[in-house]
Amino acid sequence: MQVSEHRRGPIRSEAARVAILDATARLFETRGYDHLTMEGIAAEAHVGKQTIYRWWPSKGALVADCLLEGRLLVGGYTPADSGDLRADLATWLHVMLTFVERQGGDSLVLSLIAAATDHSDVGARLAEGLGANSLLRARLESGVAAGQLSPERPLEELAEAFVGVALVRALGRTSSSAAEARRIVDAVLGGAAPSAPATP
Amino acid sequence: MQVSEHRRGPIRSEAARVAILDATARLFETRGYDHLTMEGIAAEAHVGKQTIYRWWPSKGALVADCLLEGRLLVGGYTPADSGDLRADLATWLHVMLTFVERQGGDSLVLSLIAAATDHSDVGARLAEGLGANSLLRARLESGVAAGQLSPERPLEELAEAFVGVALVRALGRTSSSAAEARRIVDAVLGGAAPSAPATP
DNA sequence: TATACGAGACGCACCGTCTCGTCTTTCTGT
DNA sequence: ACAGAAAGACGAGACGGTGCGTCTCGTATA
């Protein structure tokens, strides 16, 4: 009786796996999702196409794995904590919207949305990658602790709303000023915002 | 000297234009955006490929025109007005989320998001088509008139937040119950919701 | 002996351009 | 006025190019 659970022959090459995911992330960031091709990835990774198809069914699955291993959206963007929740959220949103609409062509976020439409795992991880479950949520919790936000509001869903607005603006290529970002924050959190008269 | 602003030769065929847009809308709804092909549209419309390329640069532009002429998302979904803003919004959101995740494959909304990622006009019209600027906004205005919503909150941005949540859930294929929809509404509008204890 | 690997050939689908022949509209010459 | 001539939209489809997903080599490794 054999000890190994593996039947026979060579095991999966970790070098190939890493090279493929690296190539995917690199090409995804530089060329965008719709210009990403299996043949391009194979060439970039110096790997046979069959090696890719043996382990991943589609380019969407590749992108999903990259997202899962943190090769995309590295680090994320941590919202500041100045003590003023609305101002911090407005800054976060403004940075996010600016990041979203950079360049004329494919922004990274737009490419991720495209990837999400044909692979559900990308979509599932997209909101989190943009901070819905971690960075942004942490700032919201801090706001609750500071009494600037009702503890009754579900933070998960609130964070989703902010990410959602960013996605809508990304899809509409709507350019958004800092004042616009502030207005969004006030719209979602509620009208108690006498300090900043928005003039876009 | 010529009177006409038209140079010479036959004018654009309206029959061909209509046939092409009809075929596009029909194939888009049945097959989804990524299975939509120029050759398929040409065959379905009984039209030469050149006739399509003469007037539209890409399939994204075709979908955008369909959206613009109301051939997609016909009618929209009008939120009810029972007098209870939160309940109506929760119902609207629940219907929207159910609509979004119908079937296993491409839902219509997912296809529209995919189309939006490679043609900006689709994205610009998508939020409106889902009701951000018209149907949903009208219900919010009614809520303001009924004193259930602060008049200081920008309704445009608030509606975008609701549509945005729907998009995030669509991309994540998150199945959402009625209670979940209600929790989202409470999260965005604020914690004043003692009536419905959410139990998903 | 079984199997992962790099390499790449294969047939297929669709792309975007082009070239036909036909038909419709407008301009020009008599 | 009226017959061309010129221009261009039309349906049809051929064309080379690109990427797909499958397959088949020979080699290397367990």
pLDDT recorded at residue B195: 37
Q: Enumerate residues 137 to 166 of chain B having a beta carbon within 8 A of any beta carbon in chain A.
A: 150-158, 160-166
* pLDDT of A58 strictly over 90: yes
- Distance in Å, alpha carbon of B127 to nearest chain A alpha carbon: 7
What's the CA B51/C1' C19 distance, rounded, in angstroms?
Answer: 14
B105 contacts in A (CB within 8 Å)? none
DSSP 8-state assignment for residue B193: -
pLDDT recorded at residue B103: 60
pLDDT tens-digit series, residues B125-139? 998 888 777 899 999
Most confident listed range (A3-12, A32-41, B172-181, B183-192): A32-41
Please name the residue ranges forming H helices in chain A: 14-31, 38-45, 49-55, 59-68, 85-100, 108-118, 120-129, 135-145, 155-172, 178-189
B152–A191: do the CB atoms touch at under 8 Å? yes
Find the largest Cα–Cα distance for chain B: 78
Give the residue from B200, B139, B130, B196 showing the smallest Cα distance to B167.
B130
Q: Is A114 an 8 Å CB contact of chain B?
A: yes
pLDDT recorded at residue A103: 61
Neighbour tally for A11: CB within 10 Å: 7
CA distances from A30 to A2, A72, B84, B92 (A): 47, 12, 49, 39
Q: Residue A127: which of B120, B161, B168 has the nearest Cβ? A: B168
Q: Is A116 an 8 Å CB contact of chain B?
A: yes
Average pLDDT over residues B65-78: 89
Confidence band, pLDDT 50/70/90 cuts, at residue B158: very high
Q: What is the ipTM of this complex?
A: 0.91
* pLDDT of B19 strictly over 90: yes
Which chain A residue lies closest to B180 (C-alpha atoms)?
A157
Residue B76: left (phi > 0), alpha (psi -120 to 50), or beta? left
Confidence band, pLDDT 50/70/90 cuts, at residue B66: very high
Q: How many Å apart are CA A106 and CA B146, to the nearest integer?
A: 43
Tokens for B152, please give them: 């200081």
Which one-letter amino acid corresponds to residue A135? L
B182 within 8 A of A152, measured Cβ to Cβ: no
B71 within 8 A of B22, measured Cβ to Cβ: yes
Q: Is B54 an 8 Å CB contact of chain A?
A: no
Confidence band, pLDDT 50/70/90 cuts, at residue A159: very high
Q: Is A121 an 8 Å CB contact of chain B?
A: no
pLDDT recorded at residue B55: 98
pLDDT recorded at residue A4: 60
Residues in chain B: 200
Q: How many Å apart are CA A32 and CA B108, to the nearest integer?
A: 23
Q: How many Å apart are CA A62 and CA B169, to the nearest integer?
A: 22
Confidence band, pLDDT 50/70/90 cuts, at residue B74: confident
CA distances from B130 to A48, A116, B96, B181, B187 (A): 44, 19, 9, 16, 21
Query: Whole-model pTM?
Result: 0.92
* pLDDT of B86 strictly over 90: yes
Angle at B132 between CA B129 and CA B136, to 5 degrees: 105
pLDDT recorded at residue B194: 40
Selected residue with higher pLDDT from B166 and B200 = B166
* pLDDT of B196 strictly over 50: no
DSSP 8-state assignment for residue A162: H
**Strand D–CB B48 distance below 7 A:** yes
* pLDDT of A200 strictly over 50: no
To test the contact with chain A by mutation, choose from B167, B173, B184, B199 the residue with the greatest count of A C-beta atoms within 10 A, namely B167
B160 contacts in A (CB within 8 Å)? 164-165, 168-169, 184
pLDDT recorded at residue B200: 36
pLDDT recorded at residue A53: 98
B169 within 8 A of A140, measured Cβ to Cβ: no
| Mean pLDDT across chain A | 89
pLDDT recorded at residue A133: 79
pLDDT tens-digit series, residues B25-55? 999 999 999 999 999 999 999 999 999 999 9
pLDDT recorded at residue A8: 83
Q: How many Å apart are CA B52 and CA B39, to the nearest integer?
A: 10
pLDDT recorded at residue B197: 38
| Mean pLDDT across chain B | 89
B131 within 8 A of B158, measured Cβ to Cβ: no
Q: How many CB pairs under 8 A join A and B?
A: 157
